A and B are shown apart, each in its own frame.
Chain A
Amino acid sequence: MSTLLDIKNLSTHFNTSAGTIKAVNDVSFELREGETLGLVGESGCGKSVTALSIMRLVPSPPGRIVSGDVIFQGQNLLKISEAEMQNVRGRDIGMIFQEPMTSLNPVLSIGRQLREPLELHLGMTKQQSLSRSSELLELVGIPDPATRLKTFPHQTSGGQRQRIMIAMALSCEPKLLIADEATTALDVTIQAQILEIIKDLTDRLGTSVIIITHNLGVVARYADSVNVMYAGKLRESGSLDQVYKEPKHPYTVGLLNSVPTLDLDADVRLQPIRGEIPNLIDLPKGCAFIDRCDYAGQKCEESEPELEEVEDAHFGACWEHKRVSKSLLGITS
């Protein structure tokens, strides 16, 4: 499969009164056509800013993409004009956010909001966009689409609004869909419905997907590969089986040992990562994970490890990756 998205050395900073936050710090990864990639990590690690950088939606000031390339279908998105970028958004790349209410316009009817990109990007007539809109609502499982098109966002439930967002994000058949915590706020049975719809539609359209989440289960169910982020950097990257079964970074091990899952012994004692997430303004000189790491040694204090290929297409950024194993800390699954 050919490469759809190639991100090279992307860095995005925020200048605040307290100092510079390196929210995204020299991040590189690729996404192939039709691939679903999970981007996981805890609060503040830079997942959303990575997505916003791809879309060139980083609020500025205080934010700024300071370096890197975002090559999408052979074109560097960081080099094109804002007018060209507007065409990429919505037409070539669709995005779904956690809180649909903030991304839906409260004063415009749902029909109006669905029709707009169709008329703008695909040059549809009003008639055509109307019939496509109701088709789209039907695809995402909204009953009685014709009536629903006339209603406003506040008249629909959270689950319904998220379905409408999916319909909107996929309406122009984009090559890439970015779903940032798209189901986090929803109840588990509704979350399952929404994720199944996303999977079904993107499979049918051949769309690549970046699922951003802190939920390791969602990634295990829906992604092909996974990137683990911590304090602005990618720390591990590989196929699902590589990363979940043989994690090469102590942070990934820590995450996996922190979540209770239904397939493990019910009485298992969780093994949390000690300490707290570091302050991005004031990171240690060496590895950013050092204060929480059981493997840390001298070298870790002195210099920051870069991502390196530890086995075929499996990358880790840890000086001690050869010693790292899930079972070493006591849990085998």
Chain B
Amino acid sequence: MTTTTANSTKDEAISNTQSPLLEIRNLKVHFPVTEGFIIQRQVGVIKAVDGVNLSVNPGETLGLVGESGSGKTTIGRAILKLENATEGQILLNGEDITKSTGNRLRDFRRRLGMVFQDPFGSLNPRMSAGNLVGEPLKIHGLTTTKSDYKRRVAELLKIVGLNSMMAGRYPHEFSGGQRQRIGVARALAAKPDVMVLDEPVSALDVSIQAQVINLIKDLQTEFGLAYIFIAHDLSVVRNISDRVAVMYLGKIVEIGSRDDIYNHPKHPYTQALLSAVPTANPELERNRERIVLEGDIPSPLNPPSGCVFRTRCPLATKECSTQVPELQSVSGNHRAACIKGDWYKSDSSEHESVSEEA
């Protein structure tokens, strides 16, 4: 541990007996926005991820929820180095990935797997299922002989519930659910420690969605994988996550255990989000209070000053436009960022946190 560790990550590490497998410190991913013909000039910057701290322990699932444009996917892509971090660190077993190159980077990549949302677009249509699953084995030199390679590919297909006889078929010959299974097998191939799953079931029909969710859970139990599960479906995230972070316009506004977030939501955005989810229970729906937020999600090019949620927050007052709320502990590792919260101490000197500053 370095001495610059933020408080938020420090007490997380103290309260957990295990040290985090993956740790994200003050991550910022900013995209310049340019305009002009031939001569491009920068007219603004989109702060897709703006000062995020997270940690994931071995074998656990961290759910990442939030609406479109909140930065969930960008965090996932930054972890895989598909996006460059503008600032901050991403540590795998304490070692910073953002700075690594060459063999070191290749080794990191092996230990990180990714499953994408679109089971139709994310697989190369010209590669057979077997080659798609086997490619990571070749890239990382994980099998020595041809027969070993074949055996491993067959085994991977079997793990995700596909028949190894299907290895020669191409993506268009599979259904959406089967394609997503191929995507999972491919991500598993190099035996990663952490898997980033970005909306892995949202393109699937409900009955198939349930099959894939159960598969993902079973693989975690079997291989001790840690997951970052990104989704906008709050019911699915609840079913699969141990801890949950709620994002809004590039920032985490609340984070805690699954029960903290779903049973005791503190941030007005989390509360509104949960109340907007209709449940498949007509009786409950008839009697349920709902908070309907007004207005649209603001453009990330021009986010509101102060609290990013203030333009839609039912509790917002004038102070919310000048004060930037920071994540503060509600109890233990349950944190939320709202200056109106009864847990919130406006004298921030005792609650130093790097998450919302700079």
- Binding site secondary structure of chain B: helix
Q: Which one of B236, B259, B274, B282 contacts A260 once the chains associate, using CB atoms below 8 Å? A: B236
Q: Which one of A42, A188, A190 contacts B207 once the chains associate, using CB atoms below 8 Å? A: A42
B-contact 0/1 string along A270-306, CB 8 Å cutoff: 1111101100000000000000000000000000000
Q: Which one of A196, A215, A262 contacts B262 once the chains associate, using CB atoms below 8 Å? A: A262
Check if A321 is an interface residue, CB within 8 A of chain B.
no
B281 touching A244, Cβ below 8 Å: yes
Tell me, in angstroms, the Cα distance from A266 to B236 when the chains sit together.
10
A42 touching B68, Cβ below 8 Å: no
A187 touching B280, Cβ below 8 Å: no
A-side contacts of B347, CB under 8 Å: none
A187-B68, A196-B292, A268-B239 as given contacts; A218 in contact with B278, CB under 8 Å: yes
Interface centre among A187, A191, A255, A268 (most CB of B within 10 A): A187
B282 touching A240, Cβ below 8 Å: yes
A244-B280, A262-B274, A263-B279 as given contacts; A277 in contact with B239, CB under 8 Å: no
A-contact 0/1 string along B282-301, CB 8 Å cutoff: 11110000101110110000
Tell me, in angstroms, the Cα distance from A192 to B271 when the chains sit together.
14
B234 touching A244, Cβ below 8 Å: no
> Interface extent on A, as a size class?
35 or more
A-side contacts of B206, CB under 8 Å: 42, 214, 216, 255, 258-259
Q: Which one of A191, A219, A263, A270 contacts B284 once the chains associate, using CB atoms below 8 Å? A: A263
Question: How close is A262's CB to chain B, nearest CB, in angstroms?
Answer: 5
Question: How close is B319's CB to chain A, nearest CB, in angstroms?
Answer: 23
Residues 153-188 of A contacting B (Cβ, < 8 Å): 157, 159-160, 187-188
A157 touching B296, Cβ below 8 Å: yes
A residues at B contact (CB < 8 Å) = 42-43, 141, 157, 159-160, 187-193, 196, 214-222, 240-241, 244-245, 254-263, 266, 268-274, 276-277, 333
Can you name 27 A-B residue pairings with CB atoms under 8 Å?
A: A42-B206, A43-B176, A188-B277, A189-B292, A190-B296, A192-B293, A196-B292, A217-B277, A220-B280, A220-B281, A240-B282, A241-B282, A244-B281, A255-B207, A257-B210, A258-B207, A258-B209, A260-B236, A262-B234, A266-B238, A268-B239, A270-B214, A272-B209, A272-B211, A276-B175, A276-B208, A277-B175
